[in-house]
Structure 1
Amino acid sequence: MSYTNSLVTCAFPYSNGSIHLGHLLEHIQADIWVRYKRMRGQKVIFICADDAHGTAIMIQSKKENITPEQLIHRTLIEHKNDFLNFNVIHDNYYSTHTTENLFFVKKIFSTLQKKNFLKKKNIYQYYDIKENIFLPDRFIKGTCPYCHTKQQYGDNCENCSSIYTATDLIDPKSILSNTKPLLKKTEHLFFDLPQLETFLKNWIYSGVLQSSVLNKIKEWFITGLKPWNISRDQPYFGFNIPNFPNKYFYVWMDAPIGYISTFKNFCHYNKDINFEDFWKIDSPHQLFHFIGKDIIYFHSLFWPAILEAADLRKPTGIFAHGYLTINQKKISKSKGPMILAKDWIKYLDSDSLRYYYASRLSSKVEDIEMNLETFHEKINADIVNKIVNLASRSAYFINVYFKGYLSKELTDIHLYKILISSSRKIESFFENRDFSLVVSEIIKMSNIANQYVNTEAPWNIFNLKNDISKNRVQNICSLSINLFKIIITCLKPIMPDLAQKSEEFLNISLKWEDIVHPLLNHKIALFKKLYSRINKNQVHFLLKTCTLK
């Protein structure tokens, strides 16, 4: 099948807090992939939105003495700016609290009703008598009933990844009042997930999931699929459920549907894109979700089941990543450590974070450890000492003695072809999201190129009065700059700011298809600093600003 377009999404950041380094891990991962795809001539639409509903937003707005609408509007502007500061460029960044999302939530809800996928059921749910509120899963903490890890939320365990209900927790407590909640009877709507078990079992084996995710999903089938509660009691900030008084759609019902409504909003401003063509059940286009491993259950079971029941297309691929840890601790708003995007950008550049993440990201669901003590050392060693230095020391001779012109031929075609061969490996690594292998190969290329310059040592053989010597130096430096061009082209999806400065220096636009074409008899610009060395104090000041627990 020939695909004409791809739709790429990230999980929606919640509207009650700022963007932190954990959010950026996922969005940078997706943005790198999207940039590479576009460099290869593929049509990709990259969307995201704020997850703007839930009890947490209602409570946060109450604390600030503003309306939920005011809170989510302010946060939306902040989130957009934060992502742009890190060169994460979404084609549309929207919100789940919109007329479009309400329309599609109601439409899908109506379809589920007509097809008998929804059932009413009386259940007992935890209630905080001090705050007079039914408690959402994330407002209850206790001991995991499976691995007995303490301080776990009421829906899943961050330690063993088990899925359970809040009533399964051992020694539950409300995080609002720090009191033991009471069980109170209430009626809710449930989506009949077990009715779609056969479909889901076939779907998860279709190649859409990573192998480790598939293994986890199989465990959930063994324990048995359960009906999914899609309603919440008032008080709540969200969409009212039609003909179900005082009940609201659960955030995990309307949030994934936000993928559809955000794309619909994008199509409103891009008339050449056919909305129906993307979401019909036999769509020729591709749909990819980048998510964290903590929401695998929702995206690999609940979401495709809703789409199947609503006669809509399913994802082509779901790409889960591990947690971000800093100094061996999972990044978390409640447990720490916490570094906000807006704080990072005060002291450090965006390219450095993008490169560091890329050097550790793979196609596997592995946690990413960030060592801030050695962060600056890696960036300086790789980017400044190896990559940028390759260009700067060769550019000096070309700019000063050859009026900026590169030589008319390459004197070592074999060396040039070695790096071309490496770029072919990198293509496969990018495609498979093995960015750490991309970075590793780029460093190998840089080492080869620098070894060549060190061996030839143009600074030792240059003689202004000797034409043979001058020609040889021009050839050495021209080849060095051409090798730099290959390297920086491969690095462009990862470090867009460095790539842009390099394009100005090389006096070209870096295109993937031009990797094989060397710059001959070409005039480069006067070399200007491409990247500044990171001082350890910059990291120190960042850590002083942020609260690291």
Structure 2
Amino acid sequence: MFNKDLLLTQNIMKVLVTSAWPYVNSVPHLGNLIGSILSADVFARYARLKYGKENVLFVSGSDEHGTPIEIEAIKRKVNPKELTDQAHEYDKHLFLNVWKISFDNYTRTESETHKKFVREFLLKLTKYVKVSEDEIPFCEYDKLYLPDRFVKGTCPYCGFEDARGDQCDNCGKLLTPSLLVNPKCSICGKAPIFKKSKHWFFDLSEFNEKIRSWISSSNEMPDNVKSVALGWVSEGLKPRSITRDNKWGIPAPFIGAEDKSIYVWFEALLGYISAVIEYFEKKGEVEKWKEYWFSNGIKSYYFIGKDNIPFHVVILPAMLMASGEEYHLPDVIAATEYLLYEGQKFSKSRKIGVWIDEAPELMDVEYWRFVLIRLRPEEKDTNFTWRETVRIVNTELNDDIGNYVNRILSMLNRYYNGIVPEFRSDALDDNDKKIISLINEIPKIVGDLFEKGKLKAGTEEMLRFVRECNAYLNLKAPWDLYKAGKEVELNNTLYIGVNSVKTIAILLYPLMPSHAQEIYDMLNMGNIENEKWDIASKLSINYGHKIGKVKVLFKKLEPEFESKIKDKLEKIRKDIEKMRPTLLK
């Protein structure tokens, strides 16, 4: 029997990693990928090494309800689920099999576990739910009620002319369609009318001070998220409609709301909980999910784009507070700015950008993983360019990391037949001591940045370490030490070098797991997934260990890559579009 009171007194470290649920009406593009799922995967892989695989859970899923899919189904005269079944499986295949995203559970909002949990959870909020008539935008041309995001117009606060009915992407303020100036249906472009309809509202105003206090007191929430959220709270939170008049969604559980569905944002946020429940249901451990939501020893990380901040920093914690249960509130909500493509916003209709089923045809997926984390827009909008992509692959991956690994291991083979030489701690010079100190320090420096949601910043430190290692190797010049017969100094240099390669492999693993494993294979060190993060700080490859076969780790992109890439993309795009499920074409 599960004892929640006992669990609340235990200090068991559990790490919950989540990423925003991608909406299945289109294939995610590279900006979507880095904003949530790829970032979460990098962190989850780090966390498993740091805290143990058995203590980390990484979940997400397909968000598949709402108007866009309902409209498409009406056009095609099919059930919406037929479309989302195909789209979900396609996206799931891309994430798990192509991009090697290490989800413990990638589920969907059509999951029976999710639908059941959402309805039961919302009934716990009835104390804070009120019924009121609301004016809902209705498109007379398309003959349907429009959800907030399907109404566009001018923001009443900043004048931005392309604001959505739920939020302005320019100033970040939460909106309702009735607040927009010159509102238009985003499907047909015609002005909607506003019809009165009874709806159920979650009274966020009841949690204004609680949310303010929670955000203000957090020492772990990133500053950009805190400042934006506190700005909304200072204006006063208002009731937010939980229900919609759409048919395609989870039926509202409230008495009298039988013809309503749940607003997709309310139910998708609860997917973070239902995905954990479903994971343990499948394992036959139906109560264990509570270890990730009620224990004192929990750290939770949410990886999202900046447009999703209000829902994660205001609505989700308010719902958890309102439930009457001691749910663990988010610790770190890592929100990226926007990734631009050659100076422009990604656009499917204008074919601007690269989508995640196209990218693997252009370059090794793990090269993409590294490039995207190096371009992760952590402080401001960042521009993806092919020129910078080539520089990162050819300089940072090949020249800095790959060449160093190859040089150290090749010299170990050449001078010692691949056997690690004896180490003399009493014969170290200042350069040796400096690199040993860096080996001791760098895993904590990178790990601390990762745990703040600063993945790009973590890779900056990793590359700083690699460059220091290269400088050390050039300074020590083992080839000269060998010729001069300086055996003790040569031994120490290559002993420190081979251990620094192990450190690099572990630091690289969250970004490029297969290539990190290749380094471990060359080191003859077994499965890197069974390694511990903190071993990267130690000189643990000792005298007498024999390394494996050395091979080239990375390859440079050819000089003409940049000039030819756009033509190549255009060619593969036509073939890939034919392969996509109906909903995603």
TM-score, normalization: structure 1?
0.90
Q: Does 1:376 align with 2:378?
A: no
Give, in whole Å, the separation in 2 of the partners of 1:518 and 1:285. 31
Map 1:327-338 onto structure 2 (within 5 A). 327-333=342-348, 337-338=352-353
Give, in whole Å, the separation in 2 of the partners of 1:317 and 1:457. 44
> 1:8-54, CA deviations, whole angstroms, 9 ceiling, x for partnerless residues?
11110001111221222122222222222221234211100111110
Q: CA deviation at 1:288?
A: 2.6
Map 1:57-68 onto structure 2 (within 5 A). 57-68=69-80
> Measured at CA, do residues 34 and 402 of structure 1 come closer, stay the same or move farther in structure 2, by a change above 3 Å?
same
Give, in whole Å, the separation in 1 of the partners of 2:121 and 2:203. 14
Match of 1:417 among 436, 439, 446: 436
Instruction: Verify the 8 A CA contact 1:3 1:286 in the aligned structure 2.
Output: no
Moved more, 413-422 or 346-355: 413-422
> 1:404-436, CA deviations, whole angstroms, 9 ceiling, x for partnerless residues?
222122664414413224414333223323333
Structure 1 counterpart of 2:82: 70
Instruction: Verify the 8 A CA contact 2:208 2:236 in the aligned structure 1.
Output: no
Structure 2 counterpart of 1:441: 461
Structure 2 counterpart of 1:452: 472
User: Which SS does the other structure have where 1:394 is aligned?
Assistant: helix
Structure 2 counterpart of 1:259: 272
User: Which SS does the other structure have where 1:375 is aligned?
Assistant: helix
Give, in whole Å, the separation in 2 of the partners of 1:91 and 1:221. 34
> Measured at CA, do residues 474 and 288 of structure 1 come closer, stay the same or move farther in structure 2, by a change above 3 Å?
closer
Structure 2 counterpart of 1:28: 38
Q: Does 1:233 align with 2:245?
A: yes
> Measured at CA, do residues 206 and 470 of structure 1 come closer, stay the same or move farther in structure 2, by a change above 3 Å?
closer
Structure 2 counterpart of 1:404: 418
Structure 2 counterpart of 1:513: 534
Match of 2:123 among 107, 110, 113: 110
Counterpart code for 2:150: F
Give, in whole Å, the separation in 1 of the partners of 2:302 and 2:510. 19
Give, in whole Å, the separation in 1 of the partners of 2:75 and 2:418. 61
> Measured at CA, do residues 329 and 443 of structure 1 come closer, stay the same or move farther in structure 2, by a change above 3 Å?
same
Q: CA deviation at 1:513?
A: 3.4
Counterpart code for 1:39: L
User: Which SS does the other structure have where 2:276 is aligned?
Assistant: helix
Instruction: Verify the 8 A CA contact 2:145 2:245 in the aligned structure 1.
Output: yes
Q: CA deviation at 1:365?
A: 5.1
User: Which SS does the other structure have where 2:217 is aligned?
Assistant: coil
Structure 1 counterpart of 2:580: none
Q: Does 1:496 align with 2:513?
A: yes
> Measured at CA, do residues 76 and 385 of structure 1 come closer, stay the same or move farther in structure 2, by a change above 3 Å?
same
> 1:208-266, CA deviations, whole angstroms, 9 ceiling, x for partnerless residues?
63333222223223332211111111344443545424211111121111112111110
> Measured at CA, do residues 336 and 329 of structure 1 come closer, stay the same or move farther in structure 2, by a change above 3 Å?
farther
Aligned-pair Cα RMSD in Å: 2.6
Q: Does 1:37 align with 2:47?
A: yes
Structure 1 counterpart of 2:578: none
Instruction: Verify the 8 A CA contact 2:375 2:456 in the aligned structure 1.
Output: yes
Counterpart code for 2:535: D
Q: Which runs of 5+ in 2 are unaligned?
A: 1-9, 574-585
Instruction: Verify the 8 A CA contact 2:12 2:296 in the aligned structure 1.
Output: no
Instruction: Verify the 8 A CA contact 1:68 1:237 in the aligned structure 2.
Output: no
User: Which SS does the other structure have where 1:161 is aligned?
Assistant: coil
Counterpart code for 2:525: I
> Measured at CA, do residues 443 and 525 of structure 1 come closer, stay the same or move farther in structure 2, by a change above 3 Å?
same
Structure 1 counterpart of 2:504: 487
Give, in whole Å, the separation in 2 of the partners of 1:276 and 1:475. 50
> 1:347-398, CA deviations, whole angstroms, 9 ceiling, x for partnerless residues?
1122223223333448x55333322222111221111111111122333333
> Measured at CA, do residues 131 and 528 of structure 1 come closer, stay the same or move farther in structure 2, by a change above 3 Å?
same
Instruction: Verify the 8 A CA contact 2:435 2:469 in the aligned structure 1.
Output: no
Structure 2 counterpart of 1:148: 159
> Measured at CA, do residues 56 and 150 of structure 1 come closer, stay the same or move farther in structure 2, by a change above 3 Å?
same
Give, in whole Å, the separation in 2 of the partners of 1:526 and 1:292. 42
Give, in whole Å, the separation in 1 of the partners of 2:514 and 2:549. 18
Counterpart code for 1:105: V
> Measured at CA, do residues 191 and 336 of structure 1 come closer, stay the same or move farther in structure 2, by a change above 3 Å?
farther
User: Which SS does the other structure have where 2:130 is aligned?
Assistant: strand
User: Which SS does the other structure have where 2:244 is aligned?
Assistant: strand
> Measured at CA, do residues 419 and 64 of structure 1 come closer, stay the same or move farther in structure 2, by a change above 3 Å?
farther
Give, in whole Å, the separation in 2 of the partners of 1:231 and 1:75. 25
Aligned length: 540
Give, in whole Å, the separation in 2 of the partners of 1:431 and 1:58. 39
Structure 2 counterpart of 1:523: 546
Map 1:180-195 onto structure 2 (within 5 A). 180-195=191-206
Instruction: Verify the 8 A CA contact 1:142 1:153 in the aligned structure 2.
Output: yes
Counterpart code for 1:78: Y
Q: CA deviation at 1:307?
A: 1.3
Map 1:119-134 onto structure 2 (within 5 A). 119-134=130-145
Give, in whole Å, the separation in 1 of the partners of 2:240 and 2:379. 26
Instruction: Verify the 8 A CA contact 2:155 2:168 in the aligned structure 1.
Output: yes
User: Which SS does the other structure have where 1:502 is aligned?
Assistant: helix
User: Which SS does the other structure have where 1:348 is aligned?
Assistant: coil
Instruction: Verify the 8 A CA contact 1:20 1:339 in the aligned structure 2.
Output: yes
User: Which SS does the other structure have where 1:373 is aligned?
Assistant: helix
Q: CA deviation at 1:132?
A: 0.6
Q: Which runs of 5+ in 1 are unaligned?
A: none
TM-score, normalization: structure 2?
0.85
> 1:323-367, CA deviations, whole angstroms, 9 ceiling, x for partnerless residues?
2222233335467633111111111122223223333448x5533
Q: Does 1:340 align with 2:361?
A: no
Task: Give the percent of matched residue pairs that are identical in Structure 1 and Structure 2.
Answer: 28
Counterpart code for 1:179: K
> 1:134-176, CA deviations, whole angstroms, 9 ceiling, x for partnerless residues?
1112222222222212222211111111211112212222122
Q: CA deviation at 1:60?
A: 2.7
Instruction: Verify the 8 A CA contact 2:67 2:248 in the aligned structure 1.
Output: yes
Give, in whole Å, the separation in 2 of the partners of 1:483 and 1:92. 34
Structure 2 counterpart of 1:212: 224
User: Which SS does the other structure have where 2:125 is aligned?
Assistant: helix
User: Which SS does the other structure have where 1:8 is aligned?
Assistant: strand
> 1:417-466, CA deviations, whole angstroms, 9 ceiling, x for partnerless residues?
13224414333223323333322222222222222332343445656xx9
Q: Does 1:48 align with 2:71?
A: no
Q: Does 1:7 align with 2:7?
A: no
Q: CA deviation at 1:7?
A: 1.4
Q: CA deviation at 1:108?
A: 1.9
Structure 2 counterpart of 1:164: 175
Give, in whole Å, the separation in 2 of the partners of 1:111 and 1:372. 51
User: Which SS does the other structure have where 2:60 is aligned?
Assistant: strand
Instruction: Verify the 8 A CA contact 1:293 1:365 in the aligned structure 2.
Output: no
Give, in whole Å, the separation in 1 of the partners of 2:147 and 2:563. 38
> Measured at CA, do residues 390 and 274 of structure 1 come closer, stay the same or move farther in structure 2, by a change above 3 Å?
same
User: Which SS does the other structure have where 1:417 is aligned?
Assistant: helix
Match of 2:341 among 320, 326, 334: 326
Structure 2 counterpart of 1:246: 259
